[in-house]
Amino acid sequence: MHEHRDYEGAKIGMWLFLFTEVLLFGGLFLLYAVYLHRYPAEFHAAGKDLSRIFGTANTIVLITSSLFMALAISALQRGKVLLSQRLVLLTVALAGVFLVNKFFEWSAKISHGIYPDSPALLKLPPGEMVFFNLYYLMTGLHGIHVIIGGAVLLYGWHLMRAGRVTPEHFVFLENGGLYWHLVDLVWIYLFPLFYLVV
């Protein structure tokens, strides 16, 4: 029986889904922009409280994970299945590193009493309160995407081992990779806006 495959259609579908993600985060960035416009001094003060070291480290981790993902696709296209599997695992491992960093970063903030609706947060000026609420909302939503992306890629790795993602048919892994790069894209904007805001 001939199996029907529509490579182009599958990718168009993935891009359409990514557009909804762009709009989801775009709306939040819009909220950020409007409040930055209203409270520039407070955003400046609150942004200094975030760890630039953690932010920069996680930027390097995510960009490098995106490289490994791109290399995994290229390797698979060249027929190097085992290499591709290892590169996907490396990508997932870096997703784990990102989340561990995020855990320590959030823990430090929470132990200082800075978390949504905390007594310390409620005493801050409105602008700083908005900054930290947006920080938790946006990095939290992004963190959920990191978890989902890592899980999707792990499933892609499983499909490669099971012989269902192959050098001839790899659209699942390619779409998983697109999702992973979108997660990187969102962080590329989150990083300067929260950690480097001046």
Partner 1 sequence: MTGHDVNYDTGPDMGHDTGHHAVPLRINLLVWAALMALTAITVGVTSFDFGFLNVVVALTVATTKAGLVILWFMHLRYEGRVIRLMVFTAFVILAIAIGFTFFDVAYR
Q: Which of 138, 125, 140 is nearest to 46 (CA)?
A: 125
- Supply the minimum distance, in Å, between the C-beta of residue 160 and partner 1: 14
Per CB under 8 A, 48 contacts partner 1: no
Please name which of 131, 148, 136 lies closest in space to residue 21, comparing C-alpha atoms.
148
Contact 102, 58 (CB under 8 A): yes
Does 15 bind partner 1 (CB under 8 A)? Our answer is yes
Nearer to partner 1, 61 or 129 (CB): 61
Q: Nearest distance from residue 69's CB to partner 1, in Å?
A: 7
Q: Are 50 and 58 contacting, i.e. CB atoms less than 8 angstroms apart? A: no
Task: For the segment 157-196, give every residue that binds partner 1 (CB under 8 A).
Answer: 168-171, 174, 177-178, 181, 184-185, 188-189, 191-193, 196
Q: Which of 1, 122, 162, 198 binds partner 1 (CB under 8 A)?
A: 198
Q: Which of 41, 78, 82, 125 binds partner 1 (CB under 8 A)?
A: 78
* DSSP secondary structure code for residue 50 in this structure: S
* Per CB under 8 A, 126 contacts partner 1: no
The token duo for 98 is: 């990102």
How many Å apart are CA 17 and CA 6, to the nearest integer? 17
Is residue 19 a contact point for partner 1 (CB under 8 A)? yes
User: In the complex with partner 1, which residue's Cβ is closer, 122 or 198?
Assistant: 198
Q: By CB under 8 A, name the one of 30, 41, 82, 108 that touches partner 1.
A: 30
Q: Do 69 and 87 meet the contact criterion of CB atoms below 8 Å apart?
A: yes
H helices of the chain, where?
7-38, 40-47, 52-77, 81-111, 119-123, 126-161, 171-195
CB-CB neighbours of 36 under 10 Å? 19
Torsion, Cα 123 191 146 68, to 10 degrees, reads -160
Query: Does the protein bind partner 1 through residue 74 (CB under 8 A)?
Result: yes
Q: Which residue, 136 or 189, is less far from partner 1 as judged by CB?
A: 189
Give the binding site for partner 1 (CB under 8 A). Answer: 5, 7-8, 11-12, 15-16, 19, 22-23, 26, 29-30, 33-34, 36-37, 52, 56, 59-60, 63-64, 66-67, 69-71, 73-75, 77-78, 168-171, 174, 177-178, 181, 184-185, 188-189, 191-193, 196-198
